[in-house]
Structure 1
Amino acid sequence: MRLTSFTDYGLRMLMRMASAPEHIFSSAELADEFRLSRNHLAKIMQRLSGAGLIETRRGGGGGAVLAQKPMEIRLGTVVRLLEEGQPLVECLGVDGGNCVIDGRCKFKARLRSAEAAFFADLDRCTLADIALDPKPVR
């Protein structure tokens, strides 16, 4: 199983936010910390915000904060959200892809089973379980 960089950075952002729940994180701050373009970060934040996982605030002193407690955010939920539209393999996509052996392939069922086990494991964990230790003050 391989996660997209979109999901990877989304999880990192949430882990960072969970490490300092009282802090309002600006997009510039997170982009600098993760060495990520602000544009890419904004797309991730938009998806997380739309799902009610983070709350964004505009203007001076604005930024993003967790909209839920870290122990209420299930990792499976986050990964499903951020990996939406990214099937494990082409044939598991909504349209089934262009596989010429579809209908005879026994591997597809194994992949579905493995993917279900992967998400079941993530559903047992919360953001609180993987939150970063607070960043040391310099």
Structure 2
Amino acid sequence: MHLTYHTDYALRLLMLLAVEDARLHTIAEIARRYGVSRNHMMKISRTLVAAGFITPVRGRNGGLKLAAPAEKINLGAVISVTEDNFNLVECFDAERNSCVISANCGLRNPLRHALQAFLETLRKYTLQDLITIPGSYKDLRTLFGTEIAP
């Protein structure tokens, strides 16, 4: 299983908003901080806004913020929205499957079960879990260059 860069940076964007939840963040600032293009970050933020994970605040001092508390944002739900497909092998895509052995192949079921287990595991975690691993919150805040609250 390989997650796309879209999902990877969507999770990073959400983690930044969760760690620095006291202020709004612009797309340009987030893109600069992560070293990705503004256009790419714009696409990611559109996906997250459409799914209801983040809220845009318009205006001169606008930016992005979480639409819900970090403990209410489910990791499995984010990944389900940001990944374009979960076709681990060709036969998972009925329209494009040209595998000559797919009718009698035993690989499909174990891979489906593995994919289901993968997504089920991710559904057990929230955004809050990603930023509260012992020692990581302080580390993330330091990496983001944010002052650590007492």
Question: TM-score of the superposition, structure 1-length normalised?
Answer: 0.92
Match of 2:67 in 1: 67
Asked if the contact 1:10/1:44 (under 8 Å) is kept, the reply is yes
- 1:71-112 deviations in Å (ceiling 9; x for gaps): 111100011111133522232235352222221111111111
Letter in 2 for 1:22: A
- 1:18-43 deviations in Å (ceiling 9; x for gaps): 10222101001100011010101000
2:78 corresponds to 1:78: yes
User: Cα 1:72–1:17, aligned 2, differ >3 Å: closer, same or farther?
Assistant: same
CA distance in 2, matches of 1:81, 1:120: 15
Q: How does 1:76-115 map to 2 (within 5 A)?
A: 76-93=76-93, 95=95, 97-115=97-115
Aligned residues between the structures:
138
- 1:53-83 deviations in Å (ceiling 9; x for gaps): 0001222111110001111111000111111
CA distance in 2, matches of 1:49, 1:119: 22
Provide the alpha-carbon RMSD of the alignment.
1.7
Relative contact order (alpha carbons < 8 A, sep ≥ 6): 1 or 2 greater? 1
CA distance in 2, matches of 1:96, 1:120: 26
Which moves more between the two structures, 116-125 or 126-135? 126-135
Q: How does 1:37-52 map to 2 (within 5 A)?
A: 37-52=37-52
Identity of aligned residues (%): 38
Gap regions ≥5 residues in structure 1: none
Q: Which runs of 4+ in 1 moved over 4 A?
A: none
CA distance in 2, matches of 1:49, 1:7: 14
User: Cα 1:73–1:124, aligned 2, differ >3 Å: closer, same or farther?
Assistant: same
Letter in 2 for 1:25: H
